[in-house]
Amino acid sequence: MQITITKAENLKPKPEDANLGFGSIFTDHMFNMDYNPEKGWHNPRIEPYAAIEMDPATMMLHYAQGVFEGLKAYRTRSGSVQLFRPEKNVKRLNRSCRALCIPEVNETFLLNSLKQLVALEKDWVPSVPETSLYIRPTIIATDPFLGVRASNTYRLFIILSPVGAYYPEGFNPIKIWVTKDYVRAVRGGVGEAKTPGNYAASLRAGDEAHKNGYSQVLWLDGVELKYLEEVGSMNIFFVIDGEIITPSLTGSILPGITRDSVIALAKMWNMKITERKISIDELMGAHETGILNEVFGAGTAAVISPVGEIKYGKKTIIINNGKVGLVANKFYTALTDIQYGRAEDPMGWIVPVT
């Protein structure tokens, strides 16, 4: 399939790299492609970034049949642009498609389209340290129909956004809140898919966390309200008595690519790392006995995010004196050094764009 390219006539002014927040500025072009049962995925095109006109009955708007991804393009010191494990995002997009009854996309084609779009927008990749170009591939159900069934038609689009840190705290410890009042996902549901409904389901608890001075919710499992799962914008890691522990993927947790990379690096460094169920009681107990060394999150948007405080019921625990821990720092440095080309890429994770 040939990608048609239509260039924007007027280019937008670029933002100051130093003032970038997360996800509110978009580049000049986007990628679009359509699906119908007769033609399959067809009409791939790069065109000026523009609003999508929709029938008010569009199925995505009513039943949230959609999936998305998040990955980043990084500028290296020499000025080139590169991606980090993008084939993993494309694979996960297809896994999410299967969970939401959306027709899968040819992975090689999508990866090439994404690279072509980023190459065209290379001047939008910021160069201030720790900034990047966030890439958001998305698929939405487009049948105008109010009955509940899978749509017959879809739109795939990719938009790009120059970003700085996801959390206003940057690489500083955040405060998270554990609640028994709400759950994000249940086993057998769509918790492991990257689908809008999971994020919508997290908003009310997130709001309550914010009102209490916490930036995110650390979710408990939806069945027993006992086991720690993920934060919603990132996976979670605990360092207990020198061992790194992260919740195993039970079906309701997003299989994060940064999570996978942390595990791979820890194994390469011969650190003790375990994927297993870990309960909130075990975590609070570890803190009580003084063996909870560190907690940190890992995600594409959040990178590595140290956690300095956790609130659960009436208890509040301070982790590592509210400071960035050595283990979190080690992963943060190693990952960002690979992503920005400041270090060797021993795993073959980097895909050059320009």
How many beta carbons lie within 10 A of that of residue 346, not counting itself?
Answer: 11
* Number of residues near ligand COI (by CB under 6 A): 5
> Which residue shows structure tokens 């980043």?
72
Cα 47 to chain center, whole Å?
Answer: 25
Residue from 301, 324, 328, 338 touching ligand COI (CB under 6 A): that is: 301
Phi first, then psi: give them for residue 45, nearest 5 degrees.
Answer: -155, 145
Stretch that binds ligand COI, among 176-184, 216-224, 298-306, 324-332 (CB under 6 A): 298-306
Residue from 44, 66, 70, 191 touching ligand COI (CB under 6 A): that is: 70
In the complex, least distance from residue 70 CB atom to ligand COI, rounded to whole angstroms: 2
Nearer to ligand COI, 132 or 151 (CB): 132
Is there binding between residue 300 and ligand COI (CB under 6 A)? yes
CB burial of residue 91 (10 Å; 0-12, 13-18, 19+)? middle
Nearer to ligand COI, 135 or 240 (CB): 135
Is there binding between residue 299 and ligand COI (CB under 6 A)? yes
Nearer to ligand COI, 217 or 240 (CB): 217
Residues 260-289 close enough to bind ligand COI by CB under 6 A: none
Is there binding between residue 190 and ligand COI (CB under 6 A)? no
Nearer to ligand COI, 82 or 233 (CB): 233
Is there binding between residue 233 and ligand COI (CB under 6 A)? yes
Nearer to ligand COI, 151 or 235 (CB): 235
Q: Between the CA atoms of 296, 300, 301 and 303, what dihedral angle is there, to the nearest 10 degrees? A: 40
Stretch that binds ligand COI, among 24-32, 156-164, 239-247, 297-305 (CB under 6 A): 297-305
Contact positions toward ligand COI, by CB under 6 A?
A: 70, 233, 299-301
